[in-house]
Structures are given as C-alpha cells and as structure tokens.
Amino acid sequence: MSIIDFDRWQEIYQALKQNKLRTFFTAFGVFWGIFMLVIMLGSGRGLENATQQGMGDMATNSFFMWTNRTTMPYKGFPRGRFFRFNNEDTRAMRENIKEIEYIAPRWSGMFRNSEGDNNVIRGERTGSFRLNGDYPEYFKIDPVNIHAGRFINELDIQETRKIAVIGTRVKEEMFEADEDPIGEYLEISGAYYKVIGVFSSKRTDQRAQDDNQTIFIPFTTLQRSFNLGDRVGFYSITSKDGIPASELEEKVKAYMRERHSIHPEDMRAIGSFNIEAEFNKMRDLFTGISGLIWIVGIGTLLAGVIGVSNIMLIVVKERTKEIGIKRAVGATPANIITQIIVESVFLTTLAGYLGLVIGVGILEGINYMLNQFGGNNEMFTNPSIDFNKAITALAILVIAGIFAGMIPAGRAVKIKPLEALHDEN
C-alpha cells in the first residue's frame, strides 16, 4: 500500500469527517502549540531587534575610556589627583599597543558661550546643540548615515579646518526645509564653521534623537578653538579581529596608569565602558530567552501531540472490527501501522501548518502596524521568525506526528482478526 494511495487518503478523510468536533479539538491542541511557539519566537526577535538597533552599527569590539580622580597616593602624588589624557598619549598608544585597530580621541559637550544658553547662531535663528570634536576613525567605530556632503577627513584634522558635519535636527532648526546647508556657515560659540555634511543616527532609541542634535567638527579644531591645548576628553578604541576588547581594555588602562604615574592597583582612576561586554550580556540574555521560548513552546506542542495520540487510541478502538477485516483479507502489520501513522502525521502536520501560517501572518500584521503607525519603536521592532526556525518547527511536527501514531499503531497490529470480528464496539 503506497502512501500516496488515493483510497487511503479518502479513508483518512472519512475517518476525520465522522466526528468533526473531536477532530477539531484534537487538531486545535497542535495548532495552538505551534501558533504560540511562532508568536513567542517572533516576539523575542522583536525585542532583540529593538535592542540591537538601539546600538546602531557601533563596533561591538570597542570600549570608551576617560579619566577620574586617583583613589590611591603614588610616587609622591596625593590621593584625589585629577589628570587628563593628551595628544602624546594618543601617539604612544598608536605606536606601542599593536592590538588597537582604531583609536579616536574625542571631546564632547555643549561648549556654550558666556552670553547665553544658545551656542549656535545663523541669522535670526539660534539653537543649543552638542558639539563633538572627532577624528575620522570615530565614524568607523560608530557609523552614521550621511545624507549630504561628507564626513571629517584626515586633511581636516591636519589643517584644523573650521568645518562642521551637522545632524538632521540641526539642519531642521537652522535652515529652511528646501535649503541646501552644504557650503553655508554656522556661528558656533563665536566662530564661523562651514557646513560640509548632514548626517542622521543609525540608532532608533532616545540616543538617536540626541545624535541628530549633534555637530561634529575636527578634533584639532575644537582643541584650538576652545583653548584646550593638547588635552583629550576621552577615547573610543576598538581591538583588532580575534582580540577581545576586554583584554585590550585592561592592557590600555595599565599602560595609561604607568604613563600618568597612577598606582597599578588604582582601578578607579581610569573609567571605561566596554561595548563588547554589554553586547555579550545582551546576546546571552536573548539566547536564554530563545531557549526558554523553545522549551515552553515545545512543551505546549507536546501536550497537543499527546492529545492526538490519545484520540488515535480511541479511533483504533472504534475501528477494531474494520482493522480485523483488513487483517483477514491480507493486510500486513506494516499496512496497518502505516495507515495509523499517516493519519496521525496528517492531522498534526495540517493543524501545525495552519498554526505556523496564521502565526507568521499575525507577526507580519504587527510589523506592518508598527511601520505604519508606530514610528521608531524603542522596545519592539520587526517581530519575525526566520526560515530555518520555521522549517525546524515543521520538522518537529512531522516527528511528533509519527510518535503520536506509534502507540495506537502498535495496539492496532495486536488486534487478532477473529477477535475483531466478534467485537461489539
């Protein structure tokens, strides 16, 4: 008897049709199990996407480093001494720490003038925006979207050019909607800077709004314009491929403690924030969430499959005489087993497939609503289930259907033709 035998499928259809309500509730258990698995997996993915988009395309093998007051006396220096990184530190790290891929000295702040709160003027328009002094390397560590013009380059650094790359929010505040800002000038804290580019953040959370209200100028220009000498506010640093950022972080901090005569055990004198460590925590968290979802989802699915198995036992009992007749006319145990298992697999696969399709459809509907009306959602973005997980879910259904049919099939082949023909059920 072939699996694609038309008579067999007609028999399956008639068997399921005889008790529609029972068939519905049996299938619903499997449907609900796969449906909930899809919804939970898609929701977990939506949370993960929102968290990752909140980071933009920032290099995950990076860290920030800044100075604090010392907490231990050392080499004649008292506790509580404040110190600053400087340009010579930048050169020394580039030359002596080979594990560094990119190093970007930075200054960031409002840099207001003494006449008022607004630090940016253009004609009658005024605004208060964050001003960042950066090297071109920083845009490799934390990229942004460029909408017009260009980024800061090495020549801008060398020639301390008074140029600015402005965020989209700055453009909206300081220029007309149809006005091209490229080549125009902004007065920033009393000095004029030529606009060479317009950017927007790659993030989607609150930080994106802050980023878009930022103005980038060359690091050397900011040092000179605001009389900062050779001081550095803080560093953004990435490690080379294959080198953990945490390992590089400790090496760089130890090197800086030595250069600035800080006690080797004074761990608080140099502050840092490791993006790699935070990214790993986030990845482990969502791996755990995904694992929990699979456990709960498969548990729910198995409950439905057990229901299918129990119903198939009842079906076998009801069809005892029919099975006995088949055995009497020559049906082999393999024929009987195949018949029962195919019925079980068909019921579980059909119900599960509907659960999968409806679950994916709901996720797509939620995604559409978020895109149309939700804007940039900081907590939930693009809920979806990838193709591999969908195939895995279907494979689980088929295997579960086989196992659900094995016990009833085993009972069916034990039916003796003579006893079956005398059965009153």
The per-residue pLDDT for range 247-289, each reduced to its tens digit, is 999 999 999 999 999 999 999 999 999 988 888 887 788 788 8
> How large is the angle between the packed helices 333-369 and 275-318, nearest 10 degrees?
140
Look at 20-24, 184-188, 290-294 and tell me which has the smallest mean pLDDT.
20-24
Residue 197 has pLDDT above 70, yes or no: yes
Per-position DSSP letters for 263-289, written without gaps between them: -TT-TTSEEEEEHHHHHHHHHHHHHHH
Per-residue pLDDT band for 3 (boundaries 50, 70, 90) equals very low
Residue 111 has pLDDT above 80, yes or no: no
Residue 17 has pLDDT above 70, yes or no: no
Mean pLDDT value across residues 316-341: 66
In this predicted structure, what is the pLDDT of residue 5? 56
Residue 240 DSSP label: P
Residue 1 has pLDDT above 50, yes or no: no
Alpha-carbon span 327 to 146, nearest angstrom: 76
Residue 67 has pLDDT above 90, yes or no: yes
Residue 193 has pLDDT above 60, yes or no: yes
pTM of the predicted model, to two decimals? 0.68
- The percentage of residues in the chain with a pLDDT greater than 90, rounded to a whole number, is 41
75, 81, 82, 88: CA torsion to nearest 10: -10
In this predicted structure, what is the pLDDT of residue 2? 46
Q: Which of 41-50, 72-81, 106-115 has the highest mean predicted lDDT (pLDDT)?
A: 72-81
Other CB atoms within a 10 A radius of the CB of residue 327 amount to: 21
Q: Evaluate whether 381 touches 370 at the Cβ level (below 8 Å).
A: yes
Other CB atoms within a 10 A radius of the CB of residue 254 amount to: 13
Mean pLDDT value across residues 320-341: 66
The per-residue pLDDT for range 33-53, each reduced to its tens digit, is 788 888 888 888 777 777 666
Per-position DSSP letters for 216-238, written without gaps between them: EEEHHHHHHHTT-TTEE-EEEEE
Residue 115 has pLDDT above 90, yes or no: no
The per-residue pLDDT for range 350-388, each reduced to its tens digit, is 888 888 888 888 888 888 787 776 555 556 677 777 777
Per-residue pLDDT band for 112 (boundaries 50, 70, 90) equals low
Residue 15 has pLDDT above 80, yes or no: no
Per-residue pLDDT band for 414 (boundaries 50, 70, 90) equals low
Residue 8 has pLDDT above 70, yes or no: no
The per-residue pLDDT for range 140-164, each reduced to its tens digit, is 998 999 999 999 999 999 999 999 9
In this predicted structure, what is the pLDDT of residue 71? 94
Q: Evaluate whether 384 touches 43 at the Cβ level (below 8 Å).
A: no
Residue 181 has pLDDT above 90, yes or no: yes
Residue 339 has pLDDT above 80, yes or no: no
